């Protein structure tokens, strides 16, 4: 079938009708058709691209992860390799071999609980990748479920591309990228998620790729780009990625971890890095991998996918079954008069291949090539590019977030329905409160105000799952430098204000007038403002929790616990002067926003009123009730309490901003410290074992 297909291909057929065009194209480009993607080599047009693109080299890279209190596990062991402009490097291996870890190490994205040693150079220098010069497509599709495919890519283009480009140019870039990934038929379909039908998992992966190639990065990292795709979609996606540099003349360096490519996809790879248990089994031209395996006694059977054979040979997860198959291959390639085949464990097969590669001429050539590339200095290709301006980022993020909040029923609309039902319940329970002075009546009215400012706002934690999804999208986009943290915080805050005002006004009006609270529009406006401030404060608090605790179940428990403690220290359940000093009075009574909400609500309701006593012959003022019954501080007005609440909203948002920025700044420091600590330990171990064999010499503890 393969031969017939080639013979029927008009470009491959030497006698076909397109042979003249083929000759003309080859003559103009100096690149034979059918060989431009394989890059057999280091000759031809690749040398020019090396000078213009980004060269990435790594030498003796070790990565260990902490296990338990004092233990550690080696994930990568002394890896060396390179990636050149205009070439596609595939990182392959069985599950758990370290593909994603190597990709994260090269991209500078290792987590803080890992230690990295070795040398990773960009264009011959140790430097951070600048914005716009690199992009990373993660394995998880973290996208806003309520947006369509077109909206997702268009908003990303508006944010990532500089203001020097017009909106029309940005839209054309986005539409072109969508067509390149074959998503034009799904452009008006929502991404979809929980409870919302949307595009398939494979289409989500292609949307993620679209977003990251909008800026035409010179270095592209892809973590399992074909997972969730069928064989045809996998080929078209990888073919499009491999040929991007020919369409935009960007001389792109592409590094992709890939699990099990088809034969057609495997043929797109220029170089192959094959890993097993963190060790290099093979690094070199992809076309020579099967020959390397065959030279060590593990030939690829006829008509078998080369990638299937490579992975099957070095996969030790199913060792018992695999031992017989490897033995059968040995029986085929060795002398048949030996009387039978020797059974070889997969671990031994891996050891044979690893040692063979270490002693091979190919490994020596790779080492020399890494040295040559490490001496190059082409830093001009790693200059930071511009994206949208700060004000434009704030506007776009506000608009995008507003659309997401409007379409996500669980964000505000479900809460609005719950609040309305709760307000009706409150209003009917406390209907037509009397104004006669009785201690029990004052407590009932105060309890109503406390319930509104505490338990109604407590329901805001119901939107925490939506906050977590927003944070996941933000973390992905922020890691790739799409916009600033400040713009995200401002956009999220501004987009939430209209919905929180709606949630405050509608239930607030129901809960205010039916119980017969103090008449006057000013009092109603103050009541709504305090309710809005409490809702905004709880939402800000949950955003802080979401930035620290990404798990929504743990986050809800944490947020509920914090609010419960604040309510206890707010001065209602126990009067301020009766609160225990060490914690509840200092500092909880002054830190809890419930204190200012309670006092503001009480002042708004009781100030200016006179209540008749039991005998009906005298009156008692509301101010006296506030001072004597609730121990409210009457030295300042209720507007000061509202001002403090508004100031706390700003403070909480600033804490949210500082927390994110601090995490960004501290993570590289922690990783660097852990790496230097790991390097010191490894050097000490080497000095203690100077006569160890190469396989035993380097042991990471």
pTM summary value: 0.79
Q: Which of 136-140, 204-208, 520-524, 671-675 has the lowest mean pLDDT?
A: 671-675
pLDDT tens digit sequence for 515-557: 888 888 999 999 999 999 999 999 999 999 988 887 878 889 9
Across residues 651-673, what is the average pLDDT?
A: 78
Q: What's the Cα-to-Cα distance from 517 to each of 15, 152, 610, 629, rounded to whole Å?
A: 93, 47, 14, 19
Helix (H) or strand (E) holding 222: strand 219-223
CB 206 within 8 A of CB 238: no
525 contact partners, CB below 8 Å, separation of at least 6: none
Quote the Cα angle for 55-60-61, to 5°: 80
Task: Considering the chain, tell me which residue range(s) the CATH 3.40.50.300 domain(s) occupy.
Answer: 52-133+217-382
**Which of helix, strand or coil describes residue 172?**
helix
Across residues 603-609, what is the average pLDDT?
A: 88
Q: What's the Cα-to-Cα distance from 347 to each of 241, 319, 535, rounded to whole Å?
A: 35, 8, 59
Distance CA 118, CA 679 (A): 8
Q: Given this structure, which CATH class describes domain 52-133+217-382?
A: alpha beta
Distance CA 487, CA 159 (A): 11
- State yes or no: pLDDT of 26 exceeds 70: no
**Which of helix, strand or coil describes residue 433?**
coil
CB 276 within 8 A of CB 349: no
Averaged confidence pLDDT in the chain: 80
In the chain, what are the helix, strand and coil shares in percent, each to the nearest 5?
60, 10, 30
Q: What's the Cα-to-Cα distance from 338 to each of 186, 296, 331, 332, rounded to whole Å?
A: 61, 18, 9, 11
Q: What's the Cα-to-Cα distance from 175 to each of 52, 202, 213, 214, 579, rounded to whole Å?
A: 27, 19, 12, 10, 63
336 contact partners, CB below 8 Å, separation of at least 6: none
As given in the structure block, the two tokens for residue 29 are 């480009």
- State yes or no: pLDDT of 9 exceeds 70: no
pLDDT tens digit sequence for 320-339: 444 444 544 544 444 444 44
Q: Report how far apart the first and last C-alpha atoms of the chain are (Å, whole number).
A: 53
Question: Residue 45: its pLDDT value, please?
Answer: 33
CB 22 within 8 A of CB 31: no
Question: Residue 668: its pLDDT value, please?
Answer: 57
Across residues 253-275, what is the average pLDDT?
A: 92
């Amino acid at each position: 079938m393969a031969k017939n297909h080639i013979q029927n291909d008009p470009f491959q057929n030497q006698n076909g009708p397109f042979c003249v065009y083929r000759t003309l194209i080859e003559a103009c480009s100096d690149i034979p058709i059918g060989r431009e993607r394989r890059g057999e080599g280091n000759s031809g047009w690749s040398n020019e691209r090396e000078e213009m693109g980004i060269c990435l080299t790594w030498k003796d890279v070790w990565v260990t992860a902490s296990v338990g209190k004092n233990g550690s596990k080696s994930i990568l062991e002394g890896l060396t390799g390179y990636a050149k402009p205009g070439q596609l490097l595939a990182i392959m291996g069985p599950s758990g071999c370290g593909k994603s870890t190597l990709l994260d190490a090269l991209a500078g994205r290792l987590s803080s609980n890992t230690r990295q040693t070795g040398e990773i150079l960009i264009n011959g220098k140790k430097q951070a990748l600048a914005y716009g010069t690199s992009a990373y497509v993660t394995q998880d599709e973290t996208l806003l479920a309520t947006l369509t495919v077109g909206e997702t890519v268009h908003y990303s283009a508006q944010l990532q591309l500089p203001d020097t480009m017009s909106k029309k140019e940005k839209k054309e870039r986005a539409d072109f990228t969508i067509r390149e990934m074959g998503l034009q038929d799904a452009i008006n379909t929502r991404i979809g998620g929980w409870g919302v039908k949307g595009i398939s998992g494979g289409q989500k992966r292609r949307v993620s790729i679209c977003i990251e190639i909008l800026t035409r990065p010179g270095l592209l990292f892809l973590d399992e780009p074909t997972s969730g795709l069928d064989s045809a979609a996998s080929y078209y996606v990888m073919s499009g990625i491999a040929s991007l540099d020919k369409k935009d003349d960007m001389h792109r360096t592409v590094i992709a971890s890939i699990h099990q490519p088809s034969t057609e996809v495997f043929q797109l790879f220029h170089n192959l890095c094959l890993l097993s248990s963190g060790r290099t089994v093979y690094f070199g031209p992809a076309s020579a991998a099967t020959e390397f395996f065959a030279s060590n006694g593990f030939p690829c059977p006829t008509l078998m996918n080369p990638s299937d054979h490579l992975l099957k040979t070095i996969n030790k997860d199913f060792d018992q079954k695999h031992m017989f198959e490897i033995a059968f291959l040995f029986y085929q390639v060795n002398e048949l008069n030996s009387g039978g085949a020797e059974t070889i464990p997969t671990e031994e097969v891996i050891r044979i291949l690893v040692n063979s590669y270490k002693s091979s001429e190919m490994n020596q050539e790779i080492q020399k090539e890494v040295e040559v590339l490490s001496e190059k200095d082409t830093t001009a290709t790693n200059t930071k590019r511009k994206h949208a301006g700060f004000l434009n980022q704030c506007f776009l993020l506000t608009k995008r977030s507003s659309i997401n909040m409007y379409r996500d029923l669980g964000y505000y609309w479900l809460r609005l329905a719950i609040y309305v039902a709760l307000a009706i319940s409150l209003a009917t329970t406390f209907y037509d409160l009397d104004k006669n002075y009785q201690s029990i009546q004052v407590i009932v009215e105060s309890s109503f105000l406390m319930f509104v400012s505490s338990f109604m706002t407590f329901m805001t934690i119901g939107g925490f799952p939506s906050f977590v999804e927003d944070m996941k999208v933000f973390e992905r986009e922020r890691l790739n430098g799409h916009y600033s943290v400040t713009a995200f915080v401002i956009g999220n805050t501004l987009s939430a204000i209209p919905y929180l005002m709606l949630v405050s006004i509608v239930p607030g009006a129901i809960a205010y007038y039916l119980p017969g609270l103090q008449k006057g529009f000013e009092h109603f406006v103050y009541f709504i403002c305090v309710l809005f401030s409490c809702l905004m404060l709880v939402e800000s608090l949950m955003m802080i929790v979401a930035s620290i605790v990404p798990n929504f179940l743990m986050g809800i428990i944490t947020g509920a616990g914090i609010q419960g403690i604040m309510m206890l220290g707010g001065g209602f359940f126990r009067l301020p002067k009766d609160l225990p000093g060490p914690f509840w009075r200092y500092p909880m009574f002054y830190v809890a926003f419930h204190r200012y909400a309670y006092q503001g609500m009480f002042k708004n309701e009781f100030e200016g009123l006179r209540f008749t006593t039991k005998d009906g012959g005298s009156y008692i003022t509301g101010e006296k009730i506030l001072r004597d019954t609730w121990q409210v501080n009457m030295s300042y007005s209720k507007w000061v309490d509202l001002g403090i609440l508004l100031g706390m909203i700003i403070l909480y948002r600033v804490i949210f901003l500082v927390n994110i920025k601090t995490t960004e700044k501290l993570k590289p420091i922690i990783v660097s410290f852990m790496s230097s600590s790991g390097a010191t330990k490894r050097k000490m171990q080497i000095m203690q074992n100077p006569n160890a064999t190469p396989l035993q010499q380097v042991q990471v503890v």
